[in-house]
Structure 1
């Protein structure tokens, strides 16, 4: 397969995003910027290989084979494997939605999630990317991100809800508190009715490699307990990563 054909196939896959999970052939061609006939041929090949799946309606979604391949990525297989028991412990203790996220450029990439029993509007899904300035796990990751990443994020503080922090000075002050206190919080900044608290997860060398968070309706009475539970879980993940040098987590 030539490079140009490869790039066009990748453009078709790249047409999908969290807001466009199901696409018609015409929409795929339009979003990928290619003629309909070319899209039809390539989509057929991607469908036969399993990268795309065709629904009874005729629309297309990402295929299971891409998901299977994604699970082989080190950040998925290693970090998720190390963190999984501790996410389940957190879920069992709180019955709340638990998140594990890593930084992907200027966004928080959610690599694992356990859905809670508590009725809270939660937007994130495994594989979704959300703005760092509006999420608990994102604020943790941003607090420990390189300076150029913070500068980029601070220059594009979009408002998601009425409570989203869009003032750079205020967010910088919060990020300083994250590094001092060891945790970050949000109050309905990503979704109305949902608050979150998150802590850093460190690798064997002490560097922050992920963030672990919980989403609840209200933090006023439970914050101290949730922070303690999260920190215990994060320390457990850190020990697991340190005790398993063969685990590929980066």
Structure 2
């Protein structure tokens, strides 16, 4: 996971940002004081002091021979944020409708910097499951929801995102082919993931818009190639778009006719 960039801090807020860096490091899988210190660049003694305070406040927990893990307080805050989100509440009925109709995994996601983050998930009813979780992060350029979230960006922005993911080994489609697909998706108001993020996993996604017409989230149907091929994904495009548009209406947004959106 890429370390989150913090704003320039004053002395009074420096401890807060350092503590958040420690939490981010544990979330990324660093479990010992030395590993966390090496990842964050903090002194060993500072890292130990902050980690101990975070354990006391229940933001982290410590297990002998295993190290630090995220604590119960973060789980409580996560559920509170989920419960209070207008978007997740508004999207839930549509997600359940898609889950019932397709029997596949349904995701709701948002952009978070140069990655996407899953806001909600309904697991599929197939024997083979999709490995994802609420709060999990994925690349933008190789995922269906990631592409749907950037449909309104211009080609310079697309190239920048491609370069970012390519540098990290997260995109395996040649740039020209990827851009050609993005142009097609932008016109159609949907996006595919054709085993680009993970072998045997494919999905179709559509954007969700707010009252200003801006894309604020994306919803997807994700399955495996054992049960879904490209032809079946195409039949789901109008279904997923309709649900995305119904969610947009619930949060005050309007459907956008892609034929009249000029590419910049």
Instruction: Give the alignment's TM-score, normalised by structure 1.
Output: 0.84
Aligned-residue CA RMSD (Å) = 2.6
- Tell which has more relative contact order, 1 or 2 (C-alpha 8 A, sep 6+): 1
Structure 1 residue 107: Cα displacement: 1.6
Structure 1 residue 13: Cα displacement: 1.3
Establish whether residue 210 from structure 1 lines up as the match of residue 188 from structure 2. no
List runs of 5+ in structure 1 lacking aligned partners: 244-250
Residues 182 and 7 of structure 1, relative CA distance in 2, 3 Å threshold: closer
Residues 55 and 116 of structure 1, relative CA distance in 2, 3 Å threshold: farther
| SS of equivalent residue, structure 1 residue 173 | helix
Task: Pick from 236, 241, 257 the counterpart of residue 231 of structure 1.
Answer: 241
Structure-2 residue corresponding to 1:246 = none
- Describe how 1:46-65 pairs up with structure 2 within 5 A: 46-55=54-63, 57-65=65-73
Task: Pick from 139, 142, 145 the counterpart of residue 131 of structure 1.
Answer: 139
Establish whether residue 79 from structure 1 lines up as the match of residue 72 from structure 2. no
List runs of 5+ in structure 2 lacking aligned partners: 1-10, 254-264
| SS of equivalent residue, structure 1 residue 172 | helix
| SS of equivalent residue, structure 2 residue 85 | helix
Confirm or deny: 8 A CA contact 1:120 1:194 kept in the other structure.
no
- In 1, the alpha carbon distance for the partners of 2:46 and 2:179 equals 47
Instruction: Give the alignment's TM-score, normalised by structure 2.
Output: 0.80
Structure-1 residue corresponding to 2:17 = 7
Confirm or deny: 8 A CA contact 1:121 1:191 kept in the other structure.
no
Structure 1 residue 207: Cα displacement: 2.1
